Amino acid sequence: MGCTRVKQLSRVLKDGKDIAPELTGKKVGLFLQKRLYTKGDGSDGYQFQIVCPFGYETGKTLAEYIENRPAERIDYLIAHTADKDDRNRQAPQPQQNPYQAQNEFYGQPSSANSGNFDDSIPF
């Protein structure tokens, strides 16, 4: 609303939906940031998020318009904003038995029956 310089809105019912006629046909700029993420099945996906609305004709944000400053914020965002990477960095690791190292020899046959072991104690 502020980026279009509309001071007050009214509500009108049109085709079963509420609209604000003061905003009809008004153009607004949106600075978008691409967000990368990992989908539930492990594949990569992306979506665009609104970072900052601005006046389409002036390039000013609402704060710049209110404070009567030159349009600088969008130029700054263009120069300094990169894609936001929220993807999982690690590939899913298979579950391992935490007791595997302790139990690794239990399944092997005992070497006591090998014949090389002297079972007599010398004392």
pLDDT, tens digit only, all 123 positions of the chain: 788 888 899 999 999 999 999 998 999 999 999 999 999 998 999 999 999 999 999 999 999 999 999 999 999 999 999 999 999 876 555 555 555 555 555 555 555 555 566 666 665
CA atoms within 13 A on the CB side of 65: 17
> Does a structural domain hold residue 70?
yes
Beta bridge partners of 17: 14
Output the pLDDT for position 18: 92
- Using the structure block, give the residue that is written with the tokens 């970072």: 51
The answer to whether position 39 is within a domain reads yes
Q: Could you tell me if residue 45 is inside a domain?
A: yes
pTM summary value: 0.61
Instruction: Give the model's pLDDT for residue 107.
Output: 56
**Does the residue 34 lie in any domain?**
yes
pLDDT at 4: 85
- Asked if residue 33 lies in contact with residue 83, where contact means CB atoms within 8 angstroms, the answer is yes
Domain membership flag for residue 63: yes
Distance CA 104, CA 108 (A): 8
In a domain, residue 91? The reply is no
d(CA 81, CA 76): 8
Print the domain residue range for 47.
Answer: 25-83
Q: Where are the beta strands (DSSP E) in the chain?
A: 12-14, 17-19, 28-38, 44-55, 84-85
pLDDT given at position 101: 55
- pLDDT value of position 111: 54
Q: How many domains does one find in the chain?
A: 1
Domain assignment of residue 48, yes or no: yes
